[in-house]
Structures are given as structure tokens and as C-alpha cells.
Structure 1
Amino acid sequence: MNKSAFLLAIVFLTRVPVPIKGEVDEALLNHASRYFSLVGLLIGLFLAVIYFILQSIFPVEVAVILTLAAGVILTGAFHEDGFADVWDGFGGGWSVEQKLTIMKDSRLGTYGAAALCLLLLLKYQLLVGLAEHWYWVCIALICGHTLSRTMATSLIGLLPYVQQDMQSKVKPIVQSLSKSARESLYGCALAVLLVCWGFDLFNLWHCVTLVGCLVLLRSLCIRWFRWQLGGYTGDCLGAAQQCAEVVVYMVCLLIWL
């Protein structure tokens, strides 16, 4: 493991203040992308521990809200910001230039505010629906944060990047993924699924269903971003991650209930 690249991935995806020795260059940035799934796994594990503690103290509804809040604080609402910007831009702009200009604006518009409220409400309701057993919520959080970052990161290189880095409010860390980086991303996601299978939380068809839904979502995101922008921006990756996280929670709810 490249320690500097791993620490850079943590810095990029979270608000955890970790020191990075040496110069951050393009090669290190490119290498860091392979650890995005692993960072997602660590975020999911942290939130699972938070929920486990909170649900023993508070009603599950309160525990879910506080866990979601902890996730927002830990990540700095990084992906939620991209999700809201995408809806603002796609909803309020007519031309590609107008959409990109709106997405760069730090102010939150009606489309973005409405979409973000609905997103958080949906996450809350799905996790409360899984709260019949505390470990269902924990596993959903771990799978959701790991697999969603795998799916979102896998979009890099499949579409052209349509915005100059100096103009973008949320920049992609790289604009292409190497074969080894993709293998690392998918390997981490596969390891999580195999552990869940080994503990009899998922069977083979559950794993196939979950992966199939994420593959379908990725295809829809590619078509959506290409139709709206002719490519993607960093905000688009954030929106894809949030959509994938919700899809994982939905599939878990359908599987276990």
C-alpha cells in the first residue's frame, strides 16, 4: 500500500486532518483513486459503530438521524453538495454553459434544496425501515458507503470531463483510472460482499441483485450526464455516489424484509 496515496484519499473524501509528507503531484493524485472504496469502507465502519452505540441509548429514529449527521460532519457533506449542485444545474439551466455556471455557484437553489431534503428523508426512512435488527443498519451503512464510492469512482474515464479544473468548485481527483486502480476499487467492493456472504447476510442471488442494480444505475448515470452535459464534472460523481448509496439501502430493505 502506498501510504501517502491512501492518506491523500482520506483527505480528499473526509474532513479528517491527516498529514501528508512530500509533494502532492499528479501521479500521487492518480494513485489515490484506488483507495476510494477502502476509505468508503472505513467511513461505513465508523458510522456503523456510531449507530450501534446510539441505538442502545436512544430510539432508533433518533439514532439514525444522529448517525446521518455524523456522516455529514465526517465527510463535510462532500457528495451531498455535488448532488444538490447537479439538480440545481440540470433543473435550472438550458444550455451546457448555463448548467455549468449554476453548478459552480456556491448558493443553493430551489431544485438543489428540494432534492437534498428528499434525499436525506429517503435515507432516514430506509435506515429506520432496516432498524428491526441493529446489525441490518450497520451492514447497510458499510455496504452503502463502500459500494457507492466504487460505483461513482468507476465513472472516471468513461465520460469526458467537461469543465476546466480552474473553473470547477468540486474537482475530480483524476480524469482517468488505470487498470490496477479499477482492480483495487472492485476488489475492495468484492471483499465486502464476500464477507457478508460468508456471514450469511447475503446469498448469491442477493449479491447478484445488488451488483446488478448498481451496474444499471451506473449505466443510467452515464446516459444522464452525457445527455445533460456531454460528459461529467466532480459534482456528477458526488451525485452518482449519493444515488448509489440510496440504491444499496433500498436493495438491503427489499432483501431483508
Structure 2
Amino acid sequence: MHKNDTSASWVWDIPLALVLLTRLPLPRLPDHVFARQAAGVWAFPVVGLVVGGLACGIGAVLLSLGLPPAAVAGVMLAVLIMTTGAMHEDGLADTADGLWGGFTRERRLEIMKDSHIGTYGVLTLFVVQLLRFTGIAGLIATGGLWSVLLAPVYSRALMPVLMCAMPNARGSGLSQSVGAPRVLTCGIGLALSIGFAVVWLGTLALWPLLISSLVVVGLALTARAKIGGQTGDILGASQQLAEVSLLLTLLALI
């Protein structure tokens, strides 16, 4: 490692976040960059901007070709899922199975670590994806296709907040390997995403931001009560629940 990159420059934070949270084909990053994982979580909303921008861009092209809103919404949802390797969806299913499928903290964590999906996971995954599709399709039908972009951005800004505010419940996994970010780091990502929301949609964005934040607070309190903190699965579930609640709140206001 060179003397001038002992902590790695912040310019690596965005590609690092993309490597951590997506399956996009990216060049191999220098090894020293991965020492900056906790410091780079401010860039998580930028990942949302990239994957959301890709989904909205493809959706806009398909809409201009005459495809109905439902078909466009289906493709956009598929893009959002494929670009992240269904990472957050997997976390949502594991969270549902674990938090409601076990009676002790240890058993809940064991269930969440199990690669098999249970009834709670299947049902939760189905309902949330159906609601995501409904929200996206509804916004497209009302002429708000590009307003969808706010959901993947802000939902990823809330993930570092949970990492900062809650202890890791397991002591292993992706969340543990990244580490606990500083409050300032989380604040930067949150401020950037809120600023983007206000610039993008004006005051219309405020209620969706508030509602989605409250949903994540509810998840955080539940996770603290049932397993004593957060895990990578909890972070994934928070992204999914924040995104769908933001989409539906925005749809209700437009």
C-alpha cells in the first residue's frame, strides 16, 4: 500500500459500494479499497441512483415504444432485482422467516442463516414484490415514471443508519465485515438522498421520506426486540420495506 492511500481515497467509495451491493460487471478494485467499507457507506444511495436510473431509463424507452404501464413496471422491477442479484429480496425473506419462525434469539438467527426459505419468507416476498410492482405501475400510469428513482436511492440511505444505530446481532456476515460506520458518514448519505429527493420532487417527497423512515424504525425496533440488533438480512429487509412504502406513499399523493 502506498503512503498516500493508507485509508484509501473517498473517490473509491462509489465503486466499492457498487461492488458490495450490486452484481454489475465492474473491474477488480485494489485490495486496499476494501479497508474503507465502513467509511464508504455514504455512497449507498448512489448505488440506488445507478440501479434505479438504469431501471427508469429502460422503462422510459419501453414506454415510448408503446408498452403498457404494467409490462414496463414488470421489466423495471426485474432490472432492480437482477442488478443487485436479489440480495435485498433474499434478506427480506430470511428476516420474515427468522423473526417470526423462531421462539428464541438463537433459533431466529439460526433460521435467518439457513439458505432454505420458509412459509413466512415466501408469503412476505410475494406480497412485497406485488406491492412494489403495483407502486411502480401506478406511478407510470400517472406519468410519474421517473419519480420511481427516489425509492431505490432513499431506501439505501437508511441501511447505514441501522448499521450505525444498532449492534450487529450475529458477529459475522456482510454487515459485520463492513463494520459500524461513523454517525457523520451515515449523515452524509442521508443528507445527500434527502437533498436529491427535494430537488427531484420538491416538497412532494417529504411525506414518502417520512413514512418509509417510520417503517424502517418499526423494523429496527422489532429486530432489536427479537434478535438484539441488525444483520445483513435485516439491512436487506429495511431496503425492501422502505422502497415499497415510499412507492406506495408517493402513489397516494400523486
The alignment's TM-score, normalised by the length of structure 1, stands at 0.88
Q: Which residue of 1 aligns with 2:6?
A: none
Deviations 1:26-47 (A, max 9, x none): 6411222111011111111111
* 8 A contact 2:157–2:190 mirrored in 1: yes
* 8 A contact 1:96–1:229 mirrored in 2: yes
Q: Within 5 A, what are the aligned runs for 1:127-146?
A: 127-134=136-143, 136-140=144-148, 142-146=149-153
Q: Within 5 A, what are the aligned runs for 1:17-56?
A: 17-24=25-32, 27-56=35-64
Structure 2: distance between partners of 1:231 and 1:89: 13
Deviations 1:82-130 (A, max 9, x none): 0000011112111111111111111111111111111111111122222
Q: Within 5 A, what are the aligned runs for 1:1-257?
A: 2-24=10-32, 27-57=35-65, 58-134=67-143, 136-140=144-148, 142-165=149-172, 168=173, 170-172=174-176, 174-196=178-200, 201-203=201-203, 206-256=204-254
1:109 partner amino acid: G
Structure 2: distance between partners of 1:82 and 1:226: 16
CA RMSD of aligned residues (A): 1.8
Structure 1: distance between partners of 2:32 and 2:104: 35
Task: Report SS of the residue matched to 1:19.
Answer: coil
Q: Which runs of 5+ in 1 are unaligned?
A: none
Structure 2: distance between partners of 1:56 and 1:64: 13
> How far is 1:2 from its partner?
2.2
2:115 partner amino acid: S
> How far is 1:243 from its partner?
0.4
Structure 2: distance between partners of 1:19 and 1:180: 29
Q: Which runs of 5+ in 2 are unaligned?
A: 1-8
2:136 partner amino acid: L
Which consecutive aligned stretches of 4+ in structure 1 deviate over 3 angstroms post-superposition? 24-27, 170-173
> How far is 1:173 from its partner?
5.2
* 8 A contact 1:156–1:174 mirrored in 2: no
The alignment's TM-score, normalised by the length of structure 2, stands at 0.89
1:182 partner amino acid: C
* 8 A contact 1:41–1:145 mirrored in 2: yes
Flag the structure with higher helix content. Answer: 2
1:240 partner amino acid: S
Structure 2: distance between partners of 1:248 and 1:172: 27
Instruction: Tell me the matched-pair count.
Output: 245
Q: 1:145 to 1:46 in 2, by over 3 A?
A: same
Structure 2: distance between partners of 1:26 and 1:14: 15
